[in-house]
Structure 1
């Protein structure tokens, strides 16, 4: 049994608590949440002991791991403190907005001998798992280009908070939903060499009406484009183009395969609770069964593209990735 505490009981933190109920090896017993009154009923219903601070949790010998569903600006301090206390760490994405900060967090956890798992939950979509397998098998031939898109309509409800902050949410929708697509493309192609990015703001808001577009050149020679629009209803697309065919993921379970001389084939995979799956993968990593399937190299490569994209948006020039 891995006894855990969770920091942050907003919408996503509560979703993680619910998902953990399907992983018997994780036992979430404590919670740190500034809105104590607002979280009181949820804590009572899920048997969570409220803690006054993360420091209190880290000092407890009863706690083996911490789940961080906090703003990314807090992650570096929290992750390094957890590592120093010998606690295993699951941290929601984005781990950081700077590659160097993320590298420091991984180094601290490596030195302490604890796991640092980053919650890129869409890696666990059955369709995205299948896409990685198809690309790795060579079924599509030589991969030439990838197109990605994420829209999720969340800007219509944004009137305050971190998503309107240039410091907390630079790059428009790229910081939130767009990072999912970027991580998905990096998982397929590895590190990037250069990116050219544009951020177009129709209105400052609230609600914000902006679009972000990236054109990326990867080290292996493959090109990619990525777009994200916060004001449009949910749409997801990762489309890989190769010399023998293409594969297009459209949601958690749907993929369209296209090959020369054949009609497009739509494949639907069995649905999966992706949050429960990533927490199970975290438990596997803590127990030493398998490494967490979002490797450090991919996290750093994704943030390298992200940082370069932000600089490109400011300079209107292509920028080399770290």
Structure 2
């Protein structure tokens, strides 16, 4: 059993804590949260020992791993000190806003001999797993283009906090929801060569109401477009276009397959507990040394494209990605 501490008990940290309940190989026993008063009832319900200091957990030999559900600006220091303490690490995305910061984190974990798993949870959607298999199989022919969109209206509930900070969310919705699509693109097609991006804000908020649009050129010659809107109901779309057909994922369980000369076919996959599957994969990486689905090279490639997008939004010109 991997004994874990959850660090950060905001909305997403609580989702992770709930997902860990009933895990066969992973158990959360401690929690780190600076807002002690707000976290006490949750910790009591889930039988978690609560502290407001990460060092108290890192010095606890009974804790094998930490799950970081904190603002990404805190990840660099938290990952490095956790690795130095010999803790296995699961970190929510974005791991960082800069590729070089992510490289330092992976390097620290490699030197310490511990895992660093990044929580790109859309990779565990049954529909996205099927899309990766279809794309890699050659069934669709030569891949030519990809389109993607991820929006949600969580921002309509945000009137305060770190997510409203331009320093924490410099790309607006791209930093949160849109990064899921960018990761999906990289997992399907490999690294991005160049990005031309635009950010538009209708008003300063709160709540934030902005949109981000990216035009992408991949190293393998495929083109792509990505968009995200923070203030609109949930919408997901990743659509691969190729010479013999196309495949489009519309949600966790729905894929639409179109082939030349055939009627469109909608395929529905069984829904799963995605966060539980993600934590189970983390446990497999720690205990069985299986590769975590979001590999280091892919995480770094996604952050390279993200950095280029931010630079392009600022300059108004296409930006070539840093290949490291």
Shorter-chain TM range is over 0.9
Shift of 1:155: 2.3
Residue 25 (structure 1) aligned with residue 28 (structure 2) = no
Name 1:41's counterpart in structure 2: 41
Deviation of 1:52 (Å): 3.5
**Aligned runs of 1:259-298 on 2, under 5 Å?**
259-298=259-298
2:36/2:52 contact within 8 Å kept: no
Deviation at 1:53, TM superposition (A): 0.8
1:163 pairs with 2:131: no
Q: Which residue of 2 aligns with 1:201?
A: 201
| TM-score, normalised via structure 2 length | 0.98
The 5 Å alignment of 1:60-139 reads 60-139=60-139
Equivalent pair of 1:22/1:276 in contact (CA under 8 Å)? no
2:303 alignment partner in structure 1: 303
Q: Which residue does the alignment assign to 2:177? A: 177
Count of aligned pairs between the two proteins: 322
Task: Give the 3-state SS of the residue equivalent to 1:287 in structure 2.
Answer: helix
Show the counterpart of 1:12: 12
Structure 1 stretches of 4+ moved >3 Å: none
Alignment match, 1:59: 59
Larger mean Cα displacement after TM superposition, 193-202 or 16-25: 16-25
Residues 84 and 112 of structure 1 are in contact (CA less than 8 Å); yes or no, is this contact kept in structure 2? Answer: yes
Indicate conservation of the 8 Å contact 1:145/1:223, yes or no: yes
CA contact (8 A) 1:151 1:228 kept: yes
Indicate conservation of the 8 Å contact 1:209/1:230, yes or no: yes
Alignment root-mean-square deviation, CA? 0.8
What is the distance in 2 between the residues matched to 1:22 and 1:259?
Answer: 42
Query: In structure 2, how many angstroms separate the alpha carbons of the residues matched to 1:20 and 1:290?
Result: 19
Please name the residue that 1:229 is paired with: 229
CA distance in 2, matches of 1:22, 1:135: 34
CA contact (8 A) 1:213 1:225 kept: yes
